[in-house]
Amino acid sequence: MNRVRLADVAARAGVSTATVSHVLRGGGGGTIRVSETTARAVRHAAQELGYVPSAAARGLAAGSSGRVAIMVPYLYNPYFAHMAQTLILALEERGMTTTLRLAHDAEAERDAVLGRTTGDVDGVIVCPHFLSAEMLDGASPARPVVQVGGSPTEGIDCVVMGEQEGMVAAARHLLARGRRRIAYVADPWIRRGRSERFEGYRRGLAEHGLEVDPALVIEGSDWDRRGSGLDAMVGLLRSGAEIDAAICVNDAVAVGALRALSRAGVRVPGDVALTGFDATEEAAFTSPPLTSVDPGVQGMAELGVEMLVARLAGEAGPARRVSAPPQLVIRASTASA
């Protein structure tokens, strides 16, 4: 039998999950105001359905806000928008409210993790773009923090994305389809020496006895905009380099690269096969639909929320790392040559 969720109680009472959470926590803290009639309806619905708060939720400290900050660098990349929404819903299921914040640069991300700009919440889930142990310079977060995605940060609970494994799978797939001149587009992290995705690309080629050709690697300056992929692919085509496939660092870049190939009269997948990463909804609606690595956003979000709730309930111990396995979603953009 499925566990009764906070959303089930909300639906029965005809109110929001935030209202249910507020009432069942005793009505303390926050800015929500609930009438006694609504409160009775919520309690009645919870009793009728047999709703039981999770052990972690029961362990939240008295007087806490029940609110969690979700930090993403921006929302124009479909991956971060999807992850933010998934985290918000997963937290609501556990009776917590959320506040979505944007950390547009390294300083903003560091300040959020250390609590300088997140003093109004009980905990933080950060989907980082810049975060590293060097950035924190030995300082510790003031409240529970869980990192979802990105390179693991020493001292912080982290849900590790299977970036390297996903790119190995993409390279294997293209090589199995007979592609041999496989470009890598467009990863700004290579020069910083911390690109798990590039390492997966390199490993995949090495398994077939191939070395990375520097002429086929486009580093790029920004991996989160479609325009970056378009510019990178235009530059690659103008270089005269011979390619029969391209592994793109994510779907946003792949969509831009696809546009560049189309403008140049290069057939996908007839002349060049193309893959992305993130398995965003947009990738399924391009022409042709894009093969992409699915990092498992739902699983990552659930793991991250469980880790945070456990910390909020008082769980101690060293920082943990867990991972969600990626899957390659094969579509028409990588059909055999």
**Residue 62 clears pLDDT 60, i.e. is over it:** no
State the pTM of this model: 0.78
Question: Is the separation of the CB atoms in 226 and 253 below 8 Å?
Answer: yes
- Domain 67-162+296-325 top-level CATH class: alpha beta
Selection from 144, 148, 143 nearest residue 162 by Cα: 148
Q: Write out pLDDT tens, residues 138-186.
A: 888 989 999 999 888 999 999 999 999 999 999 999 999 999 999 999 8
Q: What are the backbone angles phi and psi of residue 325, rounded to the nearest 5°?
A: -70, 135
**CATH number, domain 163-294, options 3.40.50.2300, 3.30.70.940, 3.30.300.90, 3.40.50.720:** 3.40.50.2300
- Is residue 249 scored above 80 in pLDDT? yes
Residues 9-22: tens digit of each pLDDT: 888 988 877 677 77
φ/ψ of 137, rounded to 5, equals 55, 45
Give residue-wise pLDDT tens across range 92-141.
988 889 999 999 899 999 999 999 999 899 999 999 988 888 888 888 89
Please state which CATH number belongs to domain 6-52: 1.10.260
**Where are the domain boundaries for CATH 1.10.260 in the chain?**
6-52
The per-residue pLDDT for 26 is: 62
Residue 77 pLDDT grade (very low, low, confident, very high; cuts 50, 70, 90):
confident
CA distance 70 to 23: 23
Residues of the chain with CATH 3.40.50.2300: 67-162+296-325, 163-294
